[in-house]
């Protein structure tokens, strides 16, 4: 049974993550918001901390991707892999520790969290579906994920990048956009189709080395928020990839072929929800401090109608935050305990993403001119918030996933 208390064993990990947010990320947050595309060299000093998170079981790669025609495809701190089989008792494992640590680091800065080395969505894919031999070869490298294409956003099954077998290699051709950490990563996990006519079941993922001459960087995107995280566009021009770098089963299966690839997102959607929860917490905490300076202190025990509007509104936002927080913990806990969590992961992502945007904008409003000025990080957080409602599946896609699960309908029955 899930326990809503934070497991005691995660205490040192969360203390580390909170220290990273407060002592490292916050002081340089504005610097790298203004210096978009500059690499945050301060993060080089954090490699020991990242390794510490990994040793704690918190970091096996994470991230997010856009599933709409626009947006970006960030990758973030530590995603645990789904438990292979249900275990007896209660398991508080790497998925739960990951979301809790991400909530802490994103109180400091979402973009810097996404820019941490060796923590890409590609790492999550490798952890989820790679063979033991592949995990040994790729496990210590930084892997980005390339899924989204100019004409393929929400429907990942419509990918047009092709992979053709040629001797001991596959030859990849196509275009990928919104690849988070695409410039900085050592590897890029590219989704491609073995046969366009077969739709989703022919989609496979390939590990492509960043220095492969067939993988060509086209541009880095300029973005509304999370500017510390680089977002790249690539072309694949007769990109030759060794056959042993295909992740998972090379055969095209009639049933379940695409499901293995999509399982990655049952693990990573709670992580994006955790990013949103962490950013929401930052907004609420700072707004509470600024309102207190103005003599306004919310009273949870008093009726809302007896309090100033700002105080009552803050209490309402706190309630929305709590709902997003609990949904996120549930989705991660289910993954740790080997329980299918597709619907719950989408619920958490939908609620947390929408709530984060609402909280960030409301906090700017409650703080007036102070909230809108660059003297505070509130205006930056409001810009950062929107992507958390877009990538890893837009709000609309998450609600569609939830509806399909509730109604027992397939993707072809409910579009």
- With left for phi above 0 and alpha for psi between -120 and 50, is residue 115 left, alpha or beta? alpha
Residues in the chain, total: 415
DSSP string, 262-306: HHHHHHHHHHHHHHHHHHHHHHHHHHHHHHHHTT----TTS-GGG
> Taking 60 as the threshold, does the pLDDT of residue 367 lie above it?
yes
The pLDDT assigned to 53 comes to: 54
The pLDDT assigned to 259 comes to: 57
What one-character DSSP code corresponds to residue 66?
Answer: B
151 pLDDT band, cuts 50/70/90, is confident
> Taking 50 as the threshold, does the pLDDT of residue 80 lie above it?
no
Measure Cα distances from 349 to 64, 376, 392 in Å.
11, 27, 8
pLDDT in tens, 256-288: 555 555 677 888 899 999 999 999 999 999 999
**pLDDT above 90: percentage of residues in the chain:** 70
Question: 69-78, 140-149, 189-198, 274-283: which range is least confident on average?
Answer: 69-78
The pLDDT assigned to 400 comes to: 94
pLDDT in tens, 114-136: 998 877 878 878 887 889 999 99
Encode 80-106 in three state secondary structure: CCCCCCCCCCCCCCHHHHHHHHHHHHH
Regarding beta strands 187-193 and 143-146, do their DSSP bridges make them parallel or antiparallel, or are they unpaired? parallel
The pLDDT assigned to 63 comes to: 40
Torsion on CA atoms 67, 68, 72, 78, rounded to nearest 10: -20
Among 73, 149, 175, 392, the one annotated catalytic: 392
Which contiguous run of DSSP H or E holds residue 241? strand 231-242
DSSP β-bridge partners for residue 204: 192
> Taking 50 as the threshold, does the pLDDT of residue 316 lie above it?
yes
Average pLDDT over residues 126-151: 90
pTM: 0.89
**pLDDT above 70: percentage of residues in the chain:** 87
DSSP β-bridge partners for residue 192: 204
The pLDDT assigned to 10 comes to: 94
64 pLDDT band, cuts 50/70/90, is very low
pLDDT in tens, 331-352: 999 999 999 999 999 999 999 9
What is the rounded radius of gyration, in angstroms, for the C-alpha atoms of the chain?
21
Encode 132-197 in three state secondary structure: HHHHHHHCCCCEEEECCECCECCCHHHCCCEEEEECCEEEEEEEEEEEECCCCCCEEEEEEECCHH
* Nearest partner of 364 among 343, 345, 385, judged by Cα: 385
Regarding beta strands 215-220 and 169-180, do their DSSP bridges make them parallel or antiparallel, or are they unpaired? unpaired
> Taking 80 as the threshold, does the pLDDT of residue 246 lie above it?
yes
Q: Residues 247, 189: contact at Cβ < 8 Å?
A: yes
The pLDDT assigned to 142 comes to: 92
Instruction: Choose between 60 and 307: higher pLDDT.
Output: 307
Question: Rounded distance, CA 355 to CA 316, Å?
Answer: 11
Measure Cα distances from 24 to 17, 18, 34, 101, 277 in Å.
10, 10, 17, 15, 20
The pLDDT assigned to 279 comes to: 98
* Tokens at 199, concatenated: 């739709």
Instruction: Choose between 370 and 95: higher pLDDT.
Output: 370
Mean residue pLDDT across the chain: 87
70 pLDDT band, cuts 50/70/90, is very low
DSSP SS3 for 339 = coil
61 pLDDT band, cuts 50/70/90, is very low
* Nearest partner of 124 among 229, 15, 270, 9, judged by Cα: 270
> Taking 90 as the threshold, does the pLDDT of residue 222 lie above it?
yes
5 is catalytic: no
What one-character DSSP code corresponds to residue 334?
Answer: H
The pLDDT assigned to 261 comes to: 58
Pick the CATH number of 257-407 from 1.20.140.10, 3.30.70.100, 1.10.3720.10, 3.40.50.300: 1.20.140.10
> Taking 80 as the threshold, does the pLDDT of residue 184 lie above it?
yes
DSSP β-bridge partners for residue 170: 165, 241
């Amino acid at each position: 049974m899930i326990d809503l208390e934070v497991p005691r064993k995660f205490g040192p990990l969360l203390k580390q993550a909170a220290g990273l947010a407060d002592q490292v990320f916050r002081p340089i947050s504005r610097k790298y918001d203004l210096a978009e595309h500059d690499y945050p060299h301060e993060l080089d000093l954090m490699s020991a901390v990242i390794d510490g998170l990994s040793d704690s079981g918190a970091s096996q790669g994470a991230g997010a991707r856009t599933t709409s025609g626009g947006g970006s495809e960030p990758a973030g701190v530590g995603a645990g892999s789904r438990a292979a089989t249900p275990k007896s008792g209660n398991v508080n494992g790497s998925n739960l520790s990951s979301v809790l640590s991400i909530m802490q680091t994103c109180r400091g800065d979402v973009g810097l969290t996404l820019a941490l080395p060796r923590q890409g969505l590609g790492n999550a894919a490798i952890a989820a579906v790679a063979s033991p031999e592949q995990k040994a070869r790729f496990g210590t490298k930084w892997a980005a994920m390339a899924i989204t294409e100019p004409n393929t956003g929400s429907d990942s099954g419509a990918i047009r990048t092709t992979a053709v077998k040629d001797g001991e290699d596959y030859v990849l051709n196509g275009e990928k956009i919104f690849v988070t950490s695409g410039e900085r990563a050592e590897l890029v996990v590219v989704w491609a189709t073995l046969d366009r006519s077969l739709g989703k079941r022919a989609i496979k993922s390939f590990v492509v080395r960043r220095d492969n001459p067939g993988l060509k960087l086209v541009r880095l995107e300029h973005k509304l928020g999370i500017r510390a995280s680089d977002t790249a566009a690539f072309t694949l021009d007769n990109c030759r990839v060794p056959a042993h770098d295909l992740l998972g089963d090379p055969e095209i299966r009639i049933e379940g072929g695409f499901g293995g690839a999509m399982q990655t997102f049952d693990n990573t959607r709670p992580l994006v929800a955790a990013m949103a929860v962490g950013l929401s917490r930052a907004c609420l905490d700072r707004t509470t401090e600024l309102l207190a300076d103005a003599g306004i202190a919310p009273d949870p025990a008093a009726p809302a109608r007896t309090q100033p509007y700002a105080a009552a509104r803050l209490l309402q936002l706190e309630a929305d935050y709590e709902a997003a927080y609990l949904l996120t913990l549930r989705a991660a806990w289910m993954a740790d305990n080997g329980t299918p969590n597709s619907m719950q992961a989408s619920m958490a992502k939908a609620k947390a993403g929408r709530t984060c945007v609402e909280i960030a904008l409301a906090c700017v409003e409650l703080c007036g001119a102070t909230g809108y000025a660059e003297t505070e990080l509130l205006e930056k957080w409001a810009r950062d918030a929107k992507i958390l409602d877009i990538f890893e599946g837009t709000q609309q896609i998450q609600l569609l996933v939830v509806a399909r699960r509730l109604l027992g309908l397939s993707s072809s029955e409910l579009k």
